[in-house]
Amino acid sequence: MSWSTALRAYATKKDPSTLPATVLFSHTDSTITIFDAYPKAIFHFLILPRPSQRLSVLDLSSLRSLIRKDDDLALETLKGLQSEAEKLKGEIHAEMLERYGFTWPLHCGFHAIPSMEHLHLHVISADLTSPSLKNKKHYNSFKPGHGFFLPLDDVLEWFDGSHEHLLSMSNLKKGEYEALLKQELTCHHCDRGFKTIPQLKGHLQEEWDALRQRGTRKRRKSPDDSKQTPDGQPAAKKRAFTREPGESRTDAEG
């Protein structure tokens, strides 16, 4: 299986339940949720739309190809991904509470210029601490507000305008967006600049450690909070669906 087409192979799997547990998180008739093989944060998943009679593999190749197929179908598909993302975020928050005693932000979005074929929505935690985050391109492709990472909510707003506006917004020009990946490294928490990725990663780890300490102190003040989800519901039954910092996956594409 070619790396660039691995996601397509997963999305077209007739029976996703046969995929390895290191790959598959969940699936429905219209979507499949997998672990990112090289997670760039403590929590990092991909949600893929599955082909149907109305949408072919080629239609689902990218955000641009989906929108050019049909406005209504595109919006329906993206809202389907949004629905699955909300469910996933609930499970991640429950796991955050169970493992760490507090929650922190999650981001849902697309890469403007994806490196792999087949549309996929990233659901990633805002810590961006991972052994797999190794270079400037990796970091800038997920940095919130930088421009290369397109939040799902922003993409859905494209549909509020005319058809021409939608086509214009989805005309993601490779040269313009790839230039963003080469820009200087700055922390997405405090905007501090760094010359090298090791320096930035060290700082991000410090940011995460400080956040965790604050969360731990808060947990001690409210010991019952760790048993609840953000909505006040009991935390989900423990499910091994993410790595601890320092672990990595090498047996799945992502």
* Per-residue model confidence as pLDDT tens digits over 86-144: 999 999 999 999 999 999 999 999 999 999 999 999 999 999 999 999 999 999 999 99
Say what the pLDDT of residue 1 is. 57
- Share the mean pLDDT of the chain: 89
- How far CA 168 is from CA of 70, 111, 113, 173, in Å, comes to 14, 17, 15, 10
Say what the pLDDT of residue 242 is. 55
Catalytic residues: 120
pLDDT at 245 over 70: no
Phi, psi (deg, nearest 5) at residue 35: -75, 140
Q: First CA to last CA across the chain, in angstroms?
A: 12
Amino acid at 115: S
Say what the pLDDT of residue 98 is. 94
Where residue 18 falls among pLDDT bands split at 50, 70, 90? very high
Pairing of strands 149-151, 24-27: unpaired
pLDDT at 247 over 50: no
The strand pairing partners of 46, in sequence order, are 34, 122
Domains of the chain: 3-135+149-172 (3.30.428.10)
The more confident residue out of 41 and 4 is 41
* Per-residue model confidence as pLDDT tens digits over 36-75: 999 999 999 999 999 999 999 999 999 999 999 999 999 9
pLDDT at 166 over 60: yes
In this structure, are residues 99 and 43 in contact, taking their beta carbons and an 8 Å threshold? Answer: no
The strand pairing partners of 45, in sequence order, are 35, 123
